[in-house]
Chain A
């Protein structure tokens, strides 16, 4: 049985004549251009794209140091001891057997023997700050005087799923809003034609959409995905942004019809707020439709710029495009931009080299030049002053070997780096032990990292709360410490 609408007999139909007569009175008063009266534009700003009323988290003594964040996510757990955390003792004790505690697949209180494995790449000192970086990242290395390393990160969750969710949402298990959603909720967008939070080519596994989901925050704060992982960025799109079937002119007409009918219906219903907001969201969408593709279209970029990001090289093209798109988004006022070096693997994501550590080289080649290009470009355009770049994975890797030439997950100690407004350039904070196994000095928990990010954006992580199910929730739960020692 197919279903069909009942034709309605309750209401005497208007005669054609009567209809035309009435039309003559009311119709002319409407402007048919498709654009709304200014009044509607004003009234319906409350469509939900901006955080709630009082904004008590924006207190005057928290001067924002940056306006936006670019998070460069290295999925799978890149090895800190092979890249940014230089441990001479690890080189010296190569192949020695050392006892460790807290190693997974064992009772974590038990001491177990592990074979040390020196870094597979040589370390050199760079810049005036003399920071050590390995040959994995020769291009990023050139920027050390702009980078602020945190060598003492530690986090929760020893498997990818929990740790990835923790990195993005501050919770290993419960469904919570992601960092970007909190920031969108707290600050709103700088550009009314664009969403406040975008994630480029997000991976579907290890939490998937939860990693950019708004959970119980209003839906407007969820991250807008652009493209998906393993699809060339060249083809990446925002869902339903463009109409594939109608010409521009046809679409304008269609939009005119829609909004004219909407306005007629609004008038008939007595100008209810909810309806006005809905009409307003059509206007925003229509503007976004012309604005966003422009942002994603890189044809106007010079060859020099494309080269800078490695877009003309096969190895770096894809991630280069992601990084360049991130810059364009940053320029246009998107608050939180995540770029993902990730894949759709449900078992061993990208940097997850339990065996075959040499494969790290392949990943480093794909991201080193693009990230370096992004830093150079942001700096040249003066954007680095009010943008925070954040680089890292869900955890690091063990200094001891797994099997012949692999390394296991290590949430106990690893490195992330920041660059940009508000943080000390050419600086290193915290330390792991002499092998790089566990954070020891000036430890920075992932909750602390989150608190610090919010602080740099001018928000108090203890005050940025949302009431749900009778409680006030926050990104950092009951934890978090702002790491003020890394700030300028």
Chain B
């Protein structure tokens, strides 16, 4: 663990209110200065006049030791802002902004400026101004030429030199698995050939045979049907789907295809993407602004999954849809809407430091791009070269330049997200024009009338005119209300002028370093990168999109297929799904991952084709039950000897409850539903509004709904008492249990107690009760043999089933 740099995006740092970092020295300057510094120091040591030496030892050193060493010395263990004040080379090498001390020149010496406390952005020490006497001593010393006998700097310099020599050996860095181009692996030979149904099975089985692990048996048919239904559409199996199942492989295939073709597929898989895109319908921050048009992006995503839009096109649209050609008005609209991906991140729109707001917005975009598409934590390189991965600061600011040349915000005291008009038919345009013209005429008439009323000479005229005015005003109001609407969407645009971004020293937006030419990650450059340099007069988003969707990009496809694998099996081949870098985990099945990535491209970047392939494999049908011998050897199921057991996501849990109670409304929503809908709506969960500030649906809150402020590739799965309180006591669950009981009694009034219990198990869990469960339920419902179940008692049984383990775990 790196205790000296445990931080995130240093937004507080960037606020520029803490002067500590202002005296920072760039590592970049260290080596050349260190060498010359050493030579100077040697000369200095011999050349110090004895009175200077006495002055230094008596006056200067104590001040430095007392006031500065805590944060700026090898001994103190800190080198804040990269500056050392415990030896000559330390201050002469200086900081980002140059040497800390210019011998003989107080004016030019940053140390003097900082201790003067004249610049609120540049104060040292941070805990308070030094006594005047000490300030005088340091200035006097600098005036004298800063004679400094402290030349024994071996340790400190070694430290500095090491940092500088970091550099990058790109060839070597590219040896890391994730930065190599995927290559077609050979499909492995296995012993148990009969078990293999697809190539994927061969990859899985060969590892299992290598590890000598025993396979779990195949799962029973009803559990399997339930598993696939939740995986593909996020709902329990419906009769109209399961009727395809006849116990044959062809029947299973038809079942898979039915689910893939269902419009609910997009609602389930679109939501996975929305987790990555940190989708929300308010900005968050201090004064959270609502985003009433954000739903368009949500529906665009779901629609794209339903239409199985190729991933390369899907990504390109979200990065540069506004710059892409369109075949039709609808496609143009779609591609504008797609770019909300860049805009929708959390922001504090009333941040007064607009430069900081801008840089934070860009940082958030880079973070999302990096983690959602490439599994890279690029934003670590905002303040310094990435500590773990070969991402230099220049690469970060190269991408920042692209996003700074892209407009997503409208600045103001309280800024807002840029919205753009969606294309409409010419008739609509014409209607708008006409409507505006009429409105203007009507408004003019109203204004004129108001004047006439004021100036009327007698009471009768005035009252007549007033009556007319009232009428005209009402007409105007009605006219305005009937205005044809040209819809808006949150979308980005090119900034008037495209430009490269200055490196910001230690991430501080106000401290500019060298210009970084716009570009992409060096480590993931592809053969096509050369020709893709960013044109001077454009942001470079088009080229960014081309680079990301280059078939040779080492990260994008791998990251994506790993996510699909994760959602289909409970865990990625790379478990850290959002981090493919050096600090992430390595793939358990690297060959399989490459196979999936290349096969995915071969199938036309088709998500549905990949999911279908997984669903048709044999290992997908494994039971999740433990095989003792394997559990002992591989308790984490790294090698996939069984299927992972999974808890339903919040959405699926809520939707399933509503299915059991018969309340689910499966229609599509084309708007933002507003806060009331959080508890009242009976639409599928994906349509409930997601606010960063106003809270969310109660069930989402306790069941680990993705935090809408970050890319979440893998939601946490917690077990908390608040979940249990919700399941036991919330009016929602109790109401739905009651409704489920009413429905059961209404539809099957003929059933006796035991049949009613079996019916309840079927409706909730898609299986019959075990003997033990039947016994427990019977005891609860009462032992009398009238064989009739009361509504309240049956509701109690439904409540226990909805709240119970088997309802929310998929086996």
Contacts and interface: CB of A to CB of B under 8 A. Distances in A.
A257 B800 contact: yes
B221 interface: yes
Contacts of B723: 278, 281, 285
A219 B722 CA distance: 10
Contacts of A441: 128-129
Contact of B7 (A20, A286, A474): A474
B710 A216 contact: yes
B647 A274 contact: yes
A220 B720 contact: yes
A108 interface: yes
Nearest to A4: B662
A6 B127 contact: no
Interface stretch (A360-368, A377-385, A476-484): A476-484
B734 A245 contact: yes
A6 B803 contact: no
A120 interface: no
A455 interface: no
A468 B770 CA distance: 42
A30 B537 CA distance: 75
Contacts of A210: 284, 692-693
Interface in B734-763: 734, 754, 758-759, 762-763
Contact of A11 (B8, B645, B767): B767
A219 B707 CA distance: 10
Nearest to B236: A5
Contact of A8 (B711, B762, B804): B762
Main secondary structure of the interface of B (DSSP, over half): loop
Contacts of B481: none
B416 interface: no
Interface in B575-634: 576, 578-579, 581, 583-584, 624-626
A22 B285 contact: no
Contacts of B767: 8, 11
Nearest to B659: A3
Contacts of A36: none
A340 interface: no
A279 B18 contact: no
A447 interface: yes
Contact of A13 (B287, B768, B804): B768
A174 B11 contact: yes
Given A101-B120, A268-B770, A164 B720 contact: no
A125 to B, nearest CB: 25
Given A156-B15, A274-B719, A477-B7, A443 B127 contact: yes
Contacts of A473: 6-8
A23 B584 contact: no
Contacts of B528: none
A171 B776 contact: no
Nearest to B755: A16
A239 B698 contact: yes
Interface string A1-38: 11111111011011010111111011100101000000
Contacts of A288: 721, 725
A282 B645 contact: no
Nearest to B71: A481
Task: Name which of B357, B695, B734, B771 has the most chain A CB atoms within 10 A of its CB.
Answer: B771
Interface in B104-156: 119-121, 126-129
Contacts of A219: 702, 704, 716, 718, 720
Interface in B463-506: none
B805 A262 contact: yes
A2 B12 contact: no
A48 interface: yes
A59 B660 CA distance: 52
A166 B12 contact: yes
B126 A445 contact: yes
Interface residues of A, number: 130
B720 A5 contact: no
Interface string B8-32: 1111110101101000000000000
B5 interface: yes
A11 B352 contact: no
B772 interface: yes
A240 B222 contact: no
Contacts of B763: 5, 7
A241 B702 CA distance: 13
Given A209-B695, A477-B12, A159 B719 contact: no
A300 interface: no
B128 A470 contact: no
A284 interface: yes
Task: Give the residue among B3, B239, B725 with the most A Cβ atoms within 10 A.
Answer: B725
Given A4-B238, A285-B724, A207 B693 contact: yes
A92 interface: no
Nearest to A439: B128
Contact of B242 (A6, A13, A23, A474): A6
B764 to A, nearest CB: 8
Contact of B380 (A21, A206, A470): A470
Contacts of A438: 120
Contacts of B120: 101-102, 108-109, 412, 438
Contacts of B729: 240-244, 289
B contact residues, range:
35 or more
A13 B758 contact: yes
Nearest to B285: A161
Contacts of B18: 445, 447, 479
B360 interface: yes
B775 interface: yes
Given A207-B286, A210-B693, A172 B348 contact: yes
Given A3-B238, A473-B7, A478-B13, A240 B721 contact: no
B521 interface: no
Contacts of A272: 626, 645
Nearest to A209: B695
A53 interface: no
A20 B285 CA distance: 59
Nearest to A14: B768
Interface string A227-268: 000000000001111111100000101111110111011101
B750 to A, nearest CB: 15
B709 interface: yes
A280 interface: yes
A170 interface: yes
A164 B771 contact: no
A288 B801 CA distance: 22
B20 A173 contact: no
B681 to A, nearest CB: 15
B282 to A, nearest CB: 10
Given A173-B360, A243-B729, A470-B581, A10 B773 contact: no
B6 A462 contact: yes
Contacts of A244: 729, 731
A440 interface: yes
A305 B583 CA distance: 55
A471 B762 contact: no
Interface of B: 1-3, 5-13, 15, 17-18, 20, 119-121, 126-129, 220-222, 225, 235-242, 245, 284-288, 346-348, 350-352, 356-357, 360, 367, 371, 377, 380, 388, 576, 578-579, 581, 583-584, 624-626, 645, 647, 658-660, 662-666, 692-695, 698, 702, 704, 707, 709-711, 716-726, 728-731, 734, 754, 758-759, 762-764, 766-777, 779-780, 796-797, 799-801, 803-806, 809, 811
Listed from nearest, the 7 A-B pairs whose CB atoms lie closest are: A161-B286, A22-B771, A285-B724, A23-B775, A6-B239, A472-B6, A10-B221
14 contacts: A23-B775, A26-B771, A47-B720, A171-B12, A219-B720, A245-B734, A256-B780, A282-B724, A439-B128, A445-B126, A470-B388, A470-B576, A471-B377, A479-B13
Given A19-B774, A172-B348, A465-B1, 13 more contacts: A4-B659, A4-B662, A5-B763, A161-B286, A173-B11, A173-B285, A173-B347, A204-B693, A218-B716, A258-B800, A265-B805, A274-B719, A472-B1
